[in-house]
Structure 1
């Protein structure tokens, strides 16, 4: 059973996340031959307050 975790900053719409899950699932099925019903995709959204680049939070 393949598990895929996608980490990204918050702010995508539900439709965008739905499309992402569908396309990631398609890619896993195509490349591994796994059964579509067995592919699990986790979308983890990172709050911009909890993410920093170059010593600064993205919201600052």
Structure 2
């Protein structure tokens, strides 16, 4: 049973996340030959203030892009 964990910054819609999980499920069915019912996917989301890249939080990075 493949189990996939995805870590990402919060902010996507439930529809976007569901679509992504469906696509990943189908990729595992196609490439690994497993049944969709055996695929488990979990999303771990972090608030933008709890993720950092390049020494700036994602909130700071987003604010800098808006300027």
Q: TM-score, normalised by structure 2?
A: 0.82
Cα RMSD (Å): 0.9
Shift of 1:37: 0.4
Shift of 1:25: 0.3
Provide the C-alpha distance between the structure 2 equivalents of 1:57 and 1:30, rounded to a whole number of angstroms.
37
Unaligned 5+ segments in structure 2 are 61-67
What residue number does 1:9 align with? 9
Provide the C-alpha distance between the structure 2 equivalents of 1:49 and 1:30, rounded to a whole number of angstroms.
37
Structure with higher Rg: it is 2
Mapping of residues 32-43 of structure 1, within 5 Å: 32-43=32-43
Instruction: Give the 4+ runs in structure 1 shifted more than 3 A.
Output: none
Q: Greater helix percent: which structure?
A: 2
Unaligned 5+ segments in structure 1 are none
Provide the C-alpha distance between the structure 2 equivalents of 1:48 and 1:55, rounded to a whole number of angstroms.
13
The answer to whether residue 44 in structure 2 is matched with residue 44 in structure 1 is yes
